[in-house]
Amino acid sequence: MRTMLSFGGGDTSTETAASSLDGETFWVQPYVAARTGALIVGGAFAVSLTDFDDIGTLSGAASGESIGYAASGFASFGIDAGNGLTVSPFVSGSTGVGELRDLDGALAGQPDSEVFFAEGAAGAEVSRGFSFDLPNGTGAHARAFVSAELGVQYSDADTDALSTADFDQNRVGAGLGAGVDVAVAEFVTLGISGSADGIGTDLVSYGGEARLGLHF
């Protein structure tokens, strides 16, 4: 059994057919995972805060912030592909809610809006581990990865705060990701990654993040 507390932050961008949202997200996420042979299963709960400094709508520019809560679960199976490569098919699912609030600009005076979402995905990750020396001569281990997935997503907004955007959608979209995780100490991991989700739908999200993981 492995327990980890992860902190992170980065830029996020979401585009619909009629609007766009750009801002900075910060989050904290505890998760637990168990491994049996090549099979890994786990779950996590995340709390995030996003400062949308640029919301574009047909009514004009606006700003606001969102606080989100999400629970997720996953399972993956690692397959040795040779030459140091590991191919890991996976399935995952998540559900949560985000509250868009403190709207200003073209959306000033609009009520807070909650967006409920749920999604499931299946895909595969290809990773490679390697070792190197830090500047102080200490050895470190790292893992580089790329991933691709196909997922079903559902979202439902409870108000019309974003009256010119459609956040009530059922859709099937693809996702791509890539990144590097570096174990700089026995209980500390640093990581950086980027992703694109909802490819092929009217609600596409892009993001890049840096994160700190503490292992217990």
Closest CA to 62 of 74, 54, 72, 70: 54
The string of DSSP letters for 62-94 reads EEEEEEEEEEEEEEEE-EEEETTEEEEEEEEEE
Instruction: Report domain extents, the chain.
Output: 2-209
The pLDDT of residue 168: 55
The pLDDT of residue 61: 80
The pLDDT of residue 164: 47
d(C-alpha 19, C-alpha 164), whole Å: 7
144 φ/ψ sector (left φ>0, alpha ψ -120 to 50, else beta): beta
Closest CA to 180 of 127, 131, 137, 134: 127
The secondary element (H helix, E strand) that includes residue 37 is none
Query: 2-209 maps to which CATH number?
Result: 2.40.128.130
Name the range with the highest mean pLDDT among 61-70, 79-88, 107-116: 79-88
The pLDDT of residue 169: 64
Percent pLDDT > 70 in the chain is: 93
d(C-alpha 74, C-alpha 187), whole Å: 22
The pLDDT of residue 213: 93
| Structure token pair of residue 77 | 């199976």
Tell whether the model's pLDDT for residue 24 goes beyond 80. yes
d(C-alpha 24, C-alpha 49), whole Å: 8
Tell whether the model's pLDDT for residue 161 goes beyond 70. no
The pLDDT confidence band at residue 19, using thresholds 50, 70 and 90, is confident
pTM: 0.84
The pLDDT of residue 8: 94
| Structure token pair of residue 92 | 């995952």
Tell whether the model's pLDDT for residue 145 goes beyond 50. yes
- Adjacent-strand bridge partners of 45: 71
